[in-house]
Amino acid sequence: MHEPVLLRRQGHPDATLEAYVADGGLKGFARTREIGQAATVAVVTESGLVGRGGAGFPTGRKWESVRTAAESERYFVLNADESEPGTFKDRVMIETDPYMVLEGVLIACYAIAATRAYIYVRGEYRGAARLLAAAATQLAAAGHLDGIAPGGRPLAIEVRHGGGAYICGEETALFRSIEGYRGEPMSKPPFPTVAGLFRKPTVINNVETIANIPDILSRGAGWLQRYGTDRSPGVKLFSVSGHVGRPGVYELPFGAPLQELLDLAQAGRDLRALLLGGAAGTFVFPGDFDMPLSYEGAQSRAATLGSGALIAFDQGTDLWRVAERLGNFFAHESCGQCVPCRIGTRRQHEMLAALADGSGGDGERERIATLGQVMTDASICGLGQTASTAVRSLIDAESRGLLAV
Amino acid sequence: MQDTFAILIDGKEAAAHAGETILDALRRAQVDTPTLCTHEHLTPAKACRACVVELKGSRALVASCERKVEPGMELRTDSRRVLEARRGVFELLLSQNDVSAAPALVLQAERAGADRERYRGQRYDRGLHDDNELYVRDYDKCILCYRCVEACGPDVQNTFALTVAGRGFSAGIAAGYGESLPDSACVFCGNCVAVCPTGALMDKREHTLRAEGRWDESRYDVVQTTCSYCGVGCQLELHVDRRSNQIVKVTSPGDHSITQGFLCVKGRYGYSFVEA
């Protein structure tokens, strides 16, 4: 039985700064101040931590490239615009332990000499935003933000609210949103570490990623590797919803079998399929429920962990109807900037609706696959590039006979 | 001194200059590349995706109009992925837009092998915005290339009357907060009309003549002159119907050193005194 690490303070009565410090909080930040910027980044790099938002990019590499950037104006952005369907782990993380999240922010800002920190919170997460803002105020009042910003100035932490657009969770669109423009993605390169927020070198990290940081600093670079697999060190938060007895957020070490997660969430034995990785993820069928929940484990089954969202569907579920809803989601959330996504998500939804209604045929399946490749290849950002991933995995499963009832 | 280096285009070595885009290099190498949204005097919008190419090391295709060349880049413009992506872009546009006033788009779509019937579904049905005496907006023809937004904004006019509103399939060009043009910040320079590639924005006179079936370019002479309103010296092209001796449209050459094709309201629309 895995003893929670990130969620170890779940059920603690009050998330106050005093309680956090009494429970060993801020030790990681103290360590950072002791060893300095370069050594802090080195510890994060050595720990093997990779981003938990879905892309899995090594966190230390992001930090190092901003730490060593030529420009002195740099930003840190915490991406708390959690909007992937079926994903709610960041909200639970923030509501469970806002101070641990913020300690990670302080360490990051100190390590990269950030001139300012932005926390971009999903608009609907009003409670989480309030908690973070209140915790930041407490940290400031207690003097913990002093001397973090360059020139010995106190760090300014600004909490921003999203306006309800999924696309603003995409990092470059998120920057545009903070800058006051329409949330439209920009091309990469240049990557945020080179030209991010206000075109300045920027580290942008997911909430869960940053929540790992305090322990990595206080317990050492090798700590993370006590959990998980060689290629996926650490623990992961999974958001489980759908046809299970106990939906919620579960923490497991990487590499734990998918079935263990299903058992924790009290899934019945009559599951038809799972959607793993959110709307941009893939359908997983019972034959793959022994899959190890690690980046490499998922990859070996042509699946993706994404942000760790798992939606369960029982035998009574019409998976084509699910696909139609996913199609509707992407068509609704496309920003409209590029042709493949703007029109493609719309056409995809129309074709999926036809399939779900039983009026579509093989022509629709073929067109969806063709269109999916166009969107994947030619769209500007990850939204359009992955808008057909789940749908195509369903078509593929059908061709392998997995949808037969 | 221009820094020149080699890149590979479809396996053949080609010269590229530091700071230029992949599209610049492709054009110099005479590699035919479809484009819709890019414009020589505007910031690349990289929105239409017609010009995508395959870049070795890049997961997705890249927009050649925006991406700058780098030494040693290996590009493919003739791979199946590239050709299918481009064809898909045109097929999607044909499934959405009224392309009756966009012959260049239709020609490029044909060259890309686009099948008009592949994708069917809801088409744009946005109605004609005819709210002033100088130009009309027919957003069923709009492919959202962003040219008008950029021309109205920081690239040319700095008026910022036009912007994109809405999201996804509902995204479209709006003046101010969905106001009529006369109520918006529009100064009627018509530079948005000058850069529109699909006829979604059209001078009122041209629109009226077309609607009446009386637009006939074979009857028009282009008369070069210099605008007489002020001392800037903008070059004008007066499109004159040689039968009626009437001006039907005023433009400025895109390669003119002063205007780059852009004018003000007086130069573009203030010509009725000639006919008085």
The per-residue pLDDT for A54 is 85
pLDDT tens for each residue of A61-105? 999 999 999 999 999 999 999 999 999 999 999 999 999 999 999
Q: Give the residue from B15, B55, B7 showing the smallest Cα distance to A189.
A: B55
The one-character DSSP state at A318 is: -
Q: Which segments of chain A belong to CATH 1.20.1440.230?
A: 319-399
SS3 letters across A63-95? HHHHHCCCCCCCEEEEEECCCCCCCCHHHHHHH
- With an 8 Å Cβ cutoff, is B257 touching chain A? no
CA distance B215 to A257: 71
The residues, any chain, with a CB within 8 Å of residue A216's CB and separated by 6 or more, are A28, A43, A44, A47, A49, A223, A224
- What are A282's strand-pairing partners? A276
Q: What tokens were used for B29?
A: 């190498």
Report the residue from B63, B81, B96 with minimal CB separation from A343. Answer: B96
At A179-214, the pLDDT tens digits run 999 999 999 999 999 999 999 999 999 999 999 999
Alpha-carbon distance of A165 to A17, in angstroms, equals 32
Which pLDDT does position A55 carry in this prediction?
85
Largest Cα–Cα separation, chain A: 66
What is the CATH class of A17-225? Answer: alpha beta
Percent of all residues in chain A with a pLDDT value above 70, rounded to a whole number: 100
Q: Which of residues 213-242 of B touch A (CB under 8 A)?
A: none
Task: Name the interface residues of A facing B (CB cutoff 8 Å).
Answer: 165, 182, 187, 331-340, 342-347, 350-351, 367, 370-371, 373-374, 376-380, 385
Looking at the complex, report in whole angstroms how far the Cα of residue B182 sits from the nearest Cα belonging to chain A: 24
Shortest distance between the Cα of B154 and any Cα of chain A, in A, equals 14
Average confidence (pLDDT) over B78-95? 98
CB A228 within 8 A of CB A254: yes
Q: Is residue A230 predicted with pLDDT exceeding 80?
A: yes
Chain B hits for A377, Cβ within 8 Å: 52, 60-61, 81, 84-85
Provide the residue count of chain B: 276
Q: What is the mean pLDDT of residues A315-333?
A: 97
Cβ of A336 within 8 Å of Cβ of B169? The answer is yes
Instruction: Tell me the pLDDT tens digit for each residue of B168-217.
Output: 999 999 998 889 999 999 999 999 999 999 999 999 999 999 999 999 99
Sheet holding B135-138, edge to edge: B128-129, B135-138, B201-203
Residue A98, classed as helix, strand or coil, is helix
Rounded-to-10 torsion of CA A359, A365, A371, A373: 160
Q: Does B80 touch chain A (CB under 8 A)?
A: no
Q: How far apart are CA B81 and CA B53, in angstroms?
A: 9
Q: How close B258 gets to chain A, by Cα (Å)?
A: 31
Share of chain A above pLDDT 90, in %: 95
Tell whether the model's pLDDT for residue A300 goes beyond 60: yes
Nearest Cα residue in chain B from A337: B47
Residues of B in contact with A376 (CB under 8 A): 60
Q: What is the pLDDT of residues A350-381, one digit of tens each?
A: 999 999 999 988 888 999 999 999 999 999 99
Q: Would an 8 Å CB–CB cutoff place B119 in contact with chain A?
A: yes
Name the CATH architecture for the domain at A319-399: Up-down Bundle (1.20)
How does the average pLDDT of chain B come out, rounded? 96
Mean pLDDT, residues A205-234 taken together: 97
Is the model's pLDDT at B1 over the cut of 80? no
Chain region(s) in chain A for CATH 3.10.20.600 = 227-314
| Mean pLDDT calculated for residue range A214-241 | 97
The whole-number pLDDT of residue A324 equals 97
Contacts of A365 in chain B (CB under 8 A): none
Chain B residue with CA closest to A349: the answer is B121
Give chain B's domains with CATH numbers.
Answer: 1-123 (3.10.20.740), 127-213 (3.30.70.20), 216-276 (2.20.25.90)
Q: Which residues of A touch B88 (CB under 8 A)?
A: 340, 344, 370-371, 373-374, 378
Task: Choose among A342, A344, A378: nearest Cβ to B52.
Answer: A378
* The predicted structure's pLDDT at residue A404: 79
Calculate how close chain B gets to A29, using CA atoms only, in Å.
Answer: 37
Q: Is the pLDDT of residue A278 over 70?
A: yes
Cβ contact A374–B171 (<8 Å): no
pLDDT band at A14 (very low <50, low <70, confident <90, very high): confident
Looking at residue B140, its pLDDT comes to 97
- Choose among B114, B165, B113, B143: nearest CA to B36: B143
Q: Does the pLDDT of residue B2 top 80, yes or no?
A: no
pLDDT exceeds cutoff 80 at B102: yes
* Distance between CA atoms of residues A132 and A292, nearest Å: 34
- pLDDT the model gives residue A405: 64
Only one residue has tokens 């230390």, namely A60
CB-closest option in B118, B122, B144 to A342: B144
Residue in the structure block whose two tokens are 């036809």: A354
> Do residues B146 and B195 lie in contact, with contact meaning Cβ atoms separated by under 8 Å?
no
Flag whether pLDDT at A60 surpasses 90: yes
Cβ <8 Å between B85 and A343: no
Q: A282 and A302 in contact (C-beta within 8 Å)?
A: yes
Residues 6+ apart with CB under 8 A from B111: B32, B34
Closest-CA residue of A relative to B171 is: A336
Q: How confident is the model at residue B127 (pLDDT cuts 50, 70, 90)?
A: confident
The answer to whether the beta carbons of residues B251 and B275 sit under 8 Å apart is no
B51 in contact with A, Cβ within 8 Å: no
pLDDT at residue B276, rounded to an integer: 78
Residue A190 Cα, gap to closest chain B Cα (Å) = 10
Average confidence (pLDDT) over A217-237: 96
- Best residue in A342, A364, A388 to probe B by mutation, most B CBs within 10 Å? A342
pLDDT digits (tens, 9 = 90+) for A17-58: 999 999 999 999 999 999 999 999 999 999 999 999 888 899
List chain B residues with CB under 8 Å of A340. 49, 85, 88-89, 92
B63 touches chain A (CB under 8 A): yes
Alpha-carbon span A134 to B181, nearest angstrom: 45
Which helix (DSSP H) or strand (DSSP E) does residue B222 occupy?
strand B220-226
Around Cβ A364, how many Cβ atoms within 10 Å?
Answer: 17
Contact: B63, A370; criterion CB under 8 Å? no
Interface probe for A, chosen from B76, B99, B119 (most Cβ of A below 10 Å), is B119
Give the full edge-to-edge strand order of the sheet including B52-55: B12-17, B4-9, B74-76, B52-55, B62-63
Cβ atoms of B29 and B9 within 8 Å: the answer is: yes
pLDDT at B92 over 90: yes
The 3-state DSSP class for residue B203 equals strand
| Mean residue pLDDT across chain A | 96
pLDDT digits (tens, 9 = 90+) for A253-277: 999 999 999 999 999 889 999 999 9
CATH architecture of A227-314: Roll (3.10)
Pairing mode of beta strands B162-165, B172-175: antiparallel
User: Which residue type does B9 have?
Assistant: I
Distance from the Cα of B89 to chain A's closest Cα (Å) equals 6
